[in-house]
Amino acid sequence: MTDTDGLRAILDANRAGAGRGIYAVCSANPLVLEACFRQALADDAPLLIEATSNQVNQDGGYTGRTPAGFRDEVHAIAAAVGFPPERIILGGDHLGPNPWQHAPATEAMPKAEAMVAAYAAAGFGKIHLDASMACAGDPVSLAAEVVAARAARLCAAAERAAPADRPPVYVIGTEVPIPGGAQEALDHLAVTRVVDLERTIAVHARAFAAAGLAAAWARVIAVVVQPGVEFGHAEIVDFAPEKAAALSAAIRHFPGLVYEAHSTDYQTEANLRALVQGHFAILKVGPGLTFALREAIFALDAIEAELLPAGERAGVRDALERAMLANPVHWQKYYPGSEAEQRLARAYSLSDRSRYYWPVPEVQAALDRLLANLAARPIPLPLVSQYLPTAFAAIRDGRLANEPRALIRHRVREVAAAYARACGLPGVLG
């Protein structure tokens, strides 16, 4: 059995109306990954972990990791918590020319092909082929046929590089929300039209056939569409099943296919369950997990301030703010407004651009010191209740250790458990 056989079984069950689904953890943060592995252990479920083309690529991406390096790190975290390696599904998200959009397609596409090949060679079993973005010199909006032809090129590169006994499965789709949340007003967010879905599938089928990729086309499992969910800095567009009813029904006409829903972060558990029931069987979540991580770390920072004199505190919030101001490349163009509005967004935006800064050495050192400071003495229960009330309840029930790392994991696992329950898993917190 390959690592994607279990995934296909879940998706087949979804098409059969079983209300099953899977969530994709789109994060490279080690604390987030550890928490999600522990959640998947409790659920006795596989865990789908995805890296984006900007995060991880042959040049290292913004995380400094190649696909093989990311794979090795994920497996090391899994081994540390006792998670079975055969239940890990690795995915590549938005794999295409996105990191090299500033260059013409004649330069960007060969780099994208090399990246997709590196993912496939490293054993990533699920690959989202995303050639929807314009490169330098392209029209702002690419023709569907151009997008599909480029996706087929990327698929061919993956097919050549993948292990013969473990060929990847693929996700296609041109209506891809902005990774990490929308930047514009969300008042007129439109659900994908059925006619556009049908055209997307048709043009990709023709492009794959023209490229001699019939075997790969049989492994296309999902289509990215817009179900009407999105989030910005401080607002969330909730899923409205009635608006997506025609879209939900339409996928049944395409054997073997389900939908992949991006930007599902911050949806209610009921909304997530409704998405799964509407055949949005793959739910992507990224900033929602690191937002929860940030919430827990800020809570611990506040607890530290209550317990220790200023000279002994780690000052992790201050270290994070300094790092973001020193290198604003990951947030400045995303957070408009006054200086005060930007300061608030740096700390609290739902798009959570602060997630890029936890690996900064100064920030990591401050976090390590915070955890050491709070591990050196019992955290008073009244402070846990004040700043992490759901963790307080879990401690009182005997389900959670009163220890700083455990408190962080608990907050992240609350998000993962809601996704697990929506996907038909136990979602049991412990």
Q: What angle do CA 209, 214, 215 make, to 5 degrees?
A: 160
| Ranges of H-type helices in 16-129 | 30-43, 67-81, 105-121
pLDDT on residue 186: 66
pLDDT on residue 3: 76
What ranges do the domains of the chain cover?
Answer: 5-285, 291-407
Q: Can you name the CATH fold of 291-407? A: GI Alpha 1, domain 2-like (1.10.400)
In angstroms, the CA 174 to CA 51 distance is 18
The DSSP secondary-structure symbol of 59 reads T
Helix (H, G, I), strand (E, B) or coil at 224: strand
CB 163 within 8 A of CB 123: yes
CATH number of 5-285: 3.20.20.70
Cβ partners under 8 Å of residue 338, min gap 6: none
* Strand segments (E) across 143-270: 169-172, 220-224, 230-231, 236-237, 258-261
pTM tops 0.85, yes or no: yes
For residue 70, give the nearest of 4, 109, 124 by alpha carbon: 124
Q: Give one DSSP letter per residue of 396-429, joined into a string.
A: HTTSS-SSHHHHHHHHHHHHHHHHHHHTTS----
CB 135 within 8 A of CB 113: no
The bridge status of strand 236-237 relative to strand 230-231 is antiparallel
CB 296 within 8 A of CB 31: no
pLDDT on residue 346: 98
pLDDT on residue 183: 46
In angstroms, the CA 427 to CA 423 distance is 9
pLDDT on residue 175: 65
Convert the pLDDT of each residue in 228-249 to its tens digit.
999 999 999 999 999 999 999 9
Helix (H, G, I), strand (E, B) or coil at 275: helix
Domains 5-285 and 291-407 share a fold: no
The DSSP secondary-structure symbol of 104 reads B
Distance of CA 190 to the CA centre of its chain: 22
Distances in whole angstroms, Cα of residue 10 to Cα of each of 4, 43, 58, 282:
10, 14, 31, 10
Low-confidence ranges of the chain (pLDDT < 50): 1, 176-184
CB 422 within 8 A of CB 273: yes
- Cα end-to-end span (Å), the chain: 30
Distances in whole angstroms, Cα of residue 78 to Cα of each of 40, 47, 96, 420:
11, 10, 28, 18
How many helices (H) and strands (E) the chain has is answered by: 16, 10
